[in-house]
Amino acid sequence: MPRRRRKIIASRKARVLSLLESHGAKAVASEIGISVSSVYKIKRGQNHHKDLSETALALAKNLEKYRNEPATFLGSNHCISDTIYGESYVFQILAGLDEINREKAIDLLDHLKVEFAELEDIKDWGELKDTQITSDFINRLELKAFERNFKGRCPHCPK
């Protein structure tokens, strides 16, 4: 019968990460009593959530600037398309948007669909409608970024 994998609890993850700063992966694995591959998996997960968090903050910043730009179509059913990624040259100049890595942003979307009901039906941030860009939505996005607690899975999640 195959061996059942144990789930690593949050307190153990925190200890692994704190020890990893001063010790090598092998030393941490023997200290905690887990495999070296588990140590690397925890580290990859931390880096992945850091990337998601940075992307969420950049998206929130771009959405807030987009909301405050008088040239937008807020209140309409207009899609924001590539503006969100800072790829629209006009909006880069008008609102000072940051460029965002599309692949990381779509990974973030995969994670957030679990908790944000308004995102369930979209496959790309560019499909977000002006009516969905509320201050409440932006605040929840920023909160998730600061929490670094992303549910759901994306294709790039550490396995």
At residue 102, the pLDDT reads 87
Cβ(104)–Cβ(55) under 8 Å? Answer: yes
Looking at residue 4, the DSSP 8-state letter turns out to be: P
pLDDT at 43: 72
Look at residue 9 and tell me whether its pLDDT is greater than 70: no
State residue 141's pLDDT score: 94
Q: Mean of the pLDDT values across residues 15-43?
A: 70
Question: pLDDT by residue (tens digit) across 66-78?
Answer: 777 765 555 555 5
Neighbour-count burial of 62, counting CB atoms closer than 10 A to its CB (0-12 exposed, 13-18 middle, 19+ buried) = buried
| Residues ≥6 apart with Cβ < 8 Å to 57 | 142, 145
Backbone angles phi, psi at 45, to 5 degrees: -60, -40
Rounded to two decimals, the pTM is 0.71
How many CB atoms are closer than 10 A to CB 1? 3
pLDDT of residue 78: 55
pLDDT exceeds cutoff 80 at 132: yes
b/e string for 34-56 if b means 16 or more Cβ within 10 A?
beeebbebbbebbebbeebbbbb
